[in-house]
Amino acid sequence: MSPCTVRDLKDMKTEYDQFKQELGEIGKFYAEASESGQEVLRAYENLKCIWSS
């Protein structure tokens, strides 16, 4: 696998930021008690941990 370039990293950051924003928007439509909403929030938290490391 070839090493990431700066452009690749910027593209990944942009994609992650967009994904994070979309998850935030989706999460607004699910109540705290909603099972689907909880799954979305768990996925968001897992991705946040992965991307911040």
* C-alpha to C-alpha distance for 47 and 20, rounded to whole angstroms: 9
What pLDDT, on the 0 to 100 scale, is given for residue 52? 73
Predicted TM-score (pTM) above 0.85:
no
Higher pLDDT, 6 or 39: 39
d(Cα 14, Cα 20) in Å, to the nearest integer? 10
Question: Which of the pair, 14 or 8, is modelled with greater confidence?
Answer: 14
